[in-house]
Amino acid sequence: MLFVIGSVVLIGVVINQLREKPLTGKLYRQPLALLMFSGYALFRLPVVSAGDWSIIAMSLCLSFSLGLLKGRYTPLTNRDGAWYLSGSFMAVIIWFISIPMRYALKYVSIHFLSLTPFLEGSSSFIVYFISIAGFLLGIYTMLLMRYPQLIRDVGKNEEKLKRLRQVP
């Protein structure tokens, strides 16, 4: 049963990576919200070890780098005057590469750097949120480098998408 559920989730993620997403300001606000929430959660913890900080820093840098790579291969399309981020098989491949990243970082920090992380169990979500935020920031940074006019076009695009949704 676990295999079936895992397969359904995996297929859903692959489909999500391949579908078009409208280019809105929400895409830029999500990683910032994740970073702010993760920072708040970090400072509420009684102990954050040097191992945790190294995993967080390495995770942010590596996920940002992978996000830059994914942003390089994320095409933008203009349909009915509105901009959309298109999915690609390269995005799926990069997403699969990013999954084992936290485990590899934890292994390196424990076995090679002799650092003991304390972000385990219920507090381990912090590293995942920071990784996701770094990944998203990398994607959007690369998109802004490739298409600098996006900064001013995002607001116009949101208005256009609202008008398209209202038309029956």
Can you give the residue range of the structural domain that contains 96?
18-163
Q: What residues does 76 pair with on adjacent strands?
A: 85
pLDDT of residue 118: 61
pLDDT of residue 145: 87
| Per-residue burial over 7-39, b = 16 or more CB atoms within 10 Å of its CB, e = otherwise | eeeeeeebeebeeeebbbeebbeebeebbeebe
- Domain for residue 5, yes or no? no
- Domain for residue 4, yes or no? no
- Domain for residue 10, yes or no? no
Number of folded domains that form the chain: 1
Task: Render pLDDT for 8-57 as a digit per residue (tens, 0 to 9).
Answer: 877 877 777 777 877 777 777 888 888 898 888 888 877 777 777 877 88
CB 113 within 8 A of CB 62: no
Task: Render pLDDT for 108-153 as a digit per residue (tens, 0 to 9).
Answer: 766 666 666 666 666 677 788 888 889 889 988 898 888 877 766 6
Task: Render pLDDT for 71-112 as a digit per residue (tens, 0 to 9).
Answer: 888 888 877 777 778 877 887 888 778 777 767 777 776 666
Which pTM was predicted? 0.77
- Domain for residue 168, yes or no? no
Token code pair at residue 38: 């993760």
For Cα atoms 150, 139, 133, give the angle at the middle one, nearest 5 degrees: 115
- Domain for residue 2, yes or no? no
- Domain for residue 6, yes or no? no
- Domain for residue 9, yes or no? no
Contacts of 132 (CB under 8 A, 6+ apart): 31, 34, 63
pLDDT of residue 64: 94
- Domain for residue 150, yes or no? yes
